Each structure stands twice: as structure tokens, then as C-alpha cells.
Structure 1
Amino acid sequence: MTNLIVHEVADLNAADLTEILRESTEEGHRHINRLLREYITGTNRFDQESEALFACRMDHRLIGICGLNRDPYAEANIGRVRRLYVLKEFRGHGVGRRLVEAVIHMASSHYSKLVLKTDNPQASEFYKRLGFREISNNGLVTHELQF
């Protein structure tokens, strides 16, 4: 796919998440709704040191989003992948890969490890293809990537 641009989001209020929110809710996912709620309330704006929120656009259409936070569950210097979502029609075209690669690139300069939690088997395989190792017996982490 050409015309794909991944960029850091400076102000989520300026991004039109309407389509992503609608589709993710229809699929039964709550994490984009949580992303918006936490951003609006100030709970998580991805604006702390070594944090970022990335968006992928095709032309001017927002087609995917993914964030990087300092892991709130760890005391060590660990980053956490947060709120990845790609519109259905763009899955399998490298959008998710490019978003997570942007997160990995930034995280590798600031953290010793990057972690995430997913209960989706397809997402698990996706992260493993990107180099993440599956973790068992940890309620807060299912995958990690050491730097």
C-alpha cells in the first residue's frame, strides 16, 4: 500500500477516531473507547517521557493507531505496547506492522524491554512474527521483546 504515513500524534483531540471507535466497538473491543476516555480525563495521554501515540493514515484517513507507555505494572525500565487497532479493510497490508515497528524503534532507545498483553490468538502470532517472545504464567504480560 502506498500513501501510508505513520506519525506521532501530538493531540488526540485533533485526530478523527470516529471510524476506528465505531468499528472496534462493533467488533466487541473496548480498548479504543478506553483510549479516548483516558485521554480525555488525562489518565493517559502518552505524553510522559519516553511515551508516544502513533497513527497511520492513508491520504487523510486514520486507519490505525498504537501507543507506547512506560509499563505501569513494572518497576524496571520497561515499555508497554498499548491500544493497537487497525481498520478491518487494512489488516494484512502491513499497517499494524508499521505501527508496532514505530513503537519498537522508539522503545529501543528508552527501555530495556517492551511488553504487551493480548488474549487474541491472531494478535499473538502477529507479535511473534515481529520478534516478541510469548510469556506464560504472567497475568499482566503475554509477550515481551528484549533490547
Structure 2
Amino acid sequence: MLTLAAFDPGAAGFSALLAESQGEGHRMLLRLAENWANGSNRFLLPGEVIFGAWSGDVLVGVCGRNVDPHDTGPRAGRVRHLYVAQRARRDGVGRALIAAICEGAAEHFDYLNTNAPETAFAFYERMGFVPLAAGGHATHRLMLA
């Protein structure tokens, strides 16, 4: 059974998820841990949230929603640090995390951007995000309004 709840990088199991993500060449969870530790991003602004996904008592995924620091739009949000453990992929964890991130997002944001690795493009597009022109700080956008 999958459980989604508020999360911080001090949660049990995060270090294993971090190591796995780095082993795959990803830096999103390292940036999450560093930014949390130095206080530069704790998901505290209006509309910001961060969730963990647990299968039983094992952390299998994380995802956050921030004000987009790269977009000048006054109601621009950003999907941040989405990562799902290898053993939980294709089990609906990513879909559940994106659904949780989108829930209530329109109260604060008109759209959500993300800067996804190419291997995740198809996933985001299945979730309704549209590709953006190459070269910016975001690869995909989901309109909320």
C-alpha cells in the first residue's frame, strides 16, 4: 500500500534513495539535501509542498512543488526533485506523486514547469505536461487554469 505524506530529507530511507539516484547519475536528490541543509529551499513559501511516498515503511519516492525561481510569471510553479526508486517504478508511484503535487496547486499557480531528464519526457507527457522549446530552464509545462 502506497502512502504519501509530508517529507523532509531527514526521513528514514532518504539516504538510500539519495545513493540510488546518484548511482544513476542524477543530482536532484543531492540538490534537495543540500538546499534543505543550507536553508535555501525548505518548501515554505505559499503553495509550496514536498511529499514522500512510502510502500509500507520504505521510502520509495519524493517530489516537491515550489515557486519557480527561473520564471518571471507571478503565478509560476515548478515540480522539483521527482525521483522514484527503481524497485517501485511502473507501480504508479510517480503518477501518485504528481497527482499530489497538482492537488491544490491552482490556488497558487497558473502552471507548473519542470526541467526533466530526457528519460522522463514520456512520463511527464503522459501526465499532461507539454514540451517547451529547448534551451530554457524548463523542458515541460502543465497548465492548471
Q: TM-score, normalising length from structure 1? A: 0.91
Match of 2:100 in 1: 102
Deviation, structure 1 residue 27: 0.8
Give RMSD over aligned pairs.
1.3
Structure 2: which 5+ residue stretches go unaligned?
A: none
Q: More deviation in 14-23 or 80-89?
A: 14-23
* Amino acid paired to 2:80: R
Contact (CA 8 Å) 2:63, 2:98: kept in 1 or not? yes
1:90 paired with 2:94, answer no
Q: Name the residue aligned to 1:114.
A: 112
SS state at 2:36 partner: helix
Q: How does 1:30-109 map to 2 (within 5 A)?
A: 30-76=27-73, 77-109=75-107
Report the Cα offset of residue 15 of structure 1: 4.2
The DSSP-based 3-state class of the residue aligned with 1:81 is strand
Q: Which of the numbers 17, 30, 38 marks the counterpart of 2:14?
A: 17
Does 1:137 find its partner at 2:134? yes
Q: Residue type matched to 2:51 in 1?
A: F
Aligned length: 143
After superposition, give the CA deviation of every residue in 1:81-117 in whole Å (9 maximum; x if it has no partner): 0000000010011000100111111322210011111
Distance 1:21 1:43 in 2: 19
Kindly indicate whether the alpha-carbon contact (under 8 Å) linking 2:46 and 2:108 is maintained by their aligned counterparts in 1: no
> How far apart are the structure 1 equivalents of 2:141 and 2:120?
13
Instruction: Output the TM-score relative to the length of structure 2.
Output: 0.92
1:41 CA drift (Å): 0.4
CA distance in 1, matches of 2:72, 2:54: 34
SS at match of 2:137: coil
Structure 1 consecutive aligned stretches of length 4 or more whose deviation exceeds 4 Å: none
Mapped to 1, the partners of 2:124 and 2:110 lie a distance apart of 18
Aligned mates of 2:25, 2:108 — CA distance in 1: 33
> CA deviation digits over 1:18-77, x for unaligned, max 9?
110110111111111111010000011111111011110011111000010000012221
